[in-house]
Amino acid sequence: MHKSTLDYAKLQDELDELSNYRNQFHIPKNKNGNELIYMTGNSLGLQPKQTKAYINQELEDWANLGVDGHTEAKNPWLPYHEFLTKSMANVVGAKPIEVVTMNTLTANLHFMMVSFYKPTKKRYKIIIESDAFPSDKYAVESQLRHHGFDDKEGLILWKPRKNETLLRYEDLETILKKQGNEVALVMIGGVNYYTGQYFDLKRITKLGHNHDCIVGFDCAHGAGNVALNLHDSGADFAVWCTYKYLNSGPGSLSGCFVHERHAYNKDLNRFTGWWSHNKQTRFNMRHEFDVLPGAEGWQLSNPPILSMAAIKASLDIFNEVGIKKLTDKSKKLTGYFEFLLNQLGEDTIKIITPKNPEARGCQLSIQVLNADKTLHDKLTEAGIISDWREPDVIRCAPTPLYNSFEDVYRMVDKLKEILNSIDLV
């Protein structure tokens, strides 16, 4: 049984075999030089200390080699994206041929829909979760409009039941049973950004495929957080960003998954560029287009190496730790966080994230009854970096690579102190 004491939290850190990884990250500090308690790795992951050296390497090679860096750099730029593929595939549980790092997240979502959202007069609707991340909702609405459909009529929302916040698979099944033959695409956030609910990707894929729908996931809140097992899920495609749990810096590139079953299908329509073309003949320039097999065949441009260097720096850490050890620790850390929060009492806070550790990642979304943003401001003043979502939810994501048991203890201790000091009526 857990204990709500600082000594107990510190002991858990001593027992934790990943605790030293915290030293590999820059932890932001307050004005007095004290480390902040950083709980927003779900929004922008912290910088690994080695990132600078990885980027400097490319700056040096660029300075010394100019254009020859494409072939002569220590990590030649021409095939640079390939250096990320294996580690990225491991992080999301995919085969290397299924994964590529390119573009940004919402852009990739559109590129995937170009290939996989093929509406017809009868089958054109898209299912998303009702509280999907805004960018995803805007993206699918604009795809509907782009194909000449009404974005209200064409969008089906998978909603929570009255007085509930989490989504139930039975309800998705009901939607599909009723309207499955009108649905072209099921596009769900693999881990919901707001509630932290981690969906059973395999189950959703099966449901969708049973009704001949294409199934895709936005795994922005899943990559580097949970073992996504994208290949086994059977999903047709998935996209994610690398600046949240994957710690690759603001606005960094996105990952993209296309299931192996589509790898050699040259008939799949897509938007193309020279980077989707056969590598052997890419520079002959005057050939007929010859698409690359696998996810690489969706690339358009030669990629930004400086961003990729930051991704490589981060993936090398993930690769060393492995997703199994990472998620094992994550479950312990978030479990302890949950235990501490529950001590505050149900009439004060309610955790809306699923209780089942298999149905969530590290994030807990804490609903504070009758609270407003003042509470969040006070937390920030106290050195706790969390994320506030209107009307009354604090999202906190203790990440297993750089957050400690002591962090979660101190966070809940402060929260308790602040809750006692303000009147919630």
Ligand X SMILES: *Cc1c(COP(=O)(O)O)cnc(C)c1O
Binding residues are 105-106, 133-136, 218, 221, 243, 274, 302
Which of 350, 359, 352 has its CA nearest to residue 331?
Answer: 359
Measured between alpha carbons, how far is residue 203 from residues 139, 172, 185, 352 in Å? 24, 11, 15, 22
Range in contact with ligand X (rule: CB under 6 A) among 130-138, 159-167, 313-321, 348-356: 130-138
Q: In the window 87-126, what residues touch ligand X (CB under 6 A)?
A: 104-106
Smallest distance, Å, CB 190 to ligand X?
Answer: 8
135 lies in the site for ligand X, by CB under 6 A: yes
The residue among 221 and 329 lying less far from ligand X, judged by its C-beta, is 221
Q: How far apart are the first and last CA of the chain?
A: 33
Report yes or no: 401 and 21 within 8 Å, Cβ to Cβ: yes
Q: Report whether 412 contacts 386 (CB < 8 A).
A: no
Shortest distance (Å) from residue 334 CB to ligand X: 18
CB of 220 to ligand X, least distance (A): 3
**Contact between 193 and ligand X (CB under 6 A)?**
yes
Binding residues for pyridoxal 5'-phosphate: 105-106, 133-136, 218, 221, 243, 274, 302
Instruction: Put residue 383 in one of left, alpha, beta given phi > 0 → left and psi -120 to 50 → alpha.
Output: left
Which of 136, 141, 338, 392 is close enough to bind ligand X by CB under 6 A? 136
Binds ligand X (CB under 6 A): choice among 25, 80, 133, 336: 133
Q: Is 394 helix (H, G, I), strand (E, B) or coil?
A: strand
- Indicate the residue among 220 and 315 with the shorter CB distance to ligand X: 220
Query: Shortest approach of ligand X to residue 58 CB, angstroms?
Result: 22
Of the candidates 425, 380, 296, 408, the residue with the CA atom closest to the CA atom of residue 2: 408
Rounded to whole angstroms, what are the CA distances from 70 to 60, 76, 240, 273?
Answer: 13, 5, 27, 18
Determine the residue type at 190.
G
- To ligand X, the closest distance from the beta carbon of 330 in angstroms equals 18
| Closest distance of CB 422 from ligand X, Å | 30
24/104 with CB nearer ligand X = 104
Q: Is 409 in the site for ligand X (CB under 6 A)?
A: no
Amino acid at 241: C
> Which one, 69 or 216, has the nearer CB to ligand X?
216
- Determine the interface stretch with ligand X among 79-87, 151-159, 205-213, 214-222 (rule: CB under 6 A): 214-222
Nearer to ligand X, 365 or 404 (CB): 365
Q: How far apart are CA 127 and CA 115, in angstroms?
A: 17
By CB under 6 A, residue 275 contacts ligand X: no
> How far is it, in rounded angstroms, from Cα 138 to Cα 151?
10
Q: How many residues bind ligand X (CB under 6 A)?
A: 12
Closer residue to ligand X, CB minimum distance, 104 or 342 = 104
**Amino acid symbol at 6:** L
Q: Is residue 110 within 8 Å of 237, Cβ to Cβ?
A: no
Q: Which two three-digit tokens encode residue 58?
A: 């490319």
- The least CB distance from residue 237 to ligand X, in Å, is 14
**Residue 97: enclosing H or E segment and its boundaries?**
none
The piece of 91-99, 133-141, 203-211, 267-275 that touches ligand X (CB under 6 A) is: 133-141
Nearer to ligand X, 93 or 222 (CB): 222
Burial of 374 (0-12, 13-18, 19+ CB in 10 A): exposed
Shortest distance in whole angstroms from residue 419 CB to ligand X: 28
Q: Does 221 engage in binding with ligand X (CB under 6 A)?
A: yes
The reply on whether position 220 binds ligand X by CB under 6 A is yes
Q: 155, 241, 291, 309: which one contacts ligand X (CB under 6 A)?
A: 241
218 part of the interface to ligand X, by CB under 6 A: yes
Rounded CA-CA distance 425/416 in Å is 16
Least distance in angstroms from the C-beta of 253 to ligand X: 9
Residue 312 near residue 83 (C-beta atoms within 8 A): yes
Give every CB contact of residue 399 below 8 A, 6+ residues apart in sequence.
41, 42, 45, 225, 245, 330, 362
Q: Please give the DSSP secondary-structure letter assigned to residue 411.
A: H
Residues binding ligand X (CB under 6 A): 104-106, 133, 135-136, 189, 193, 218, 220-221, 241
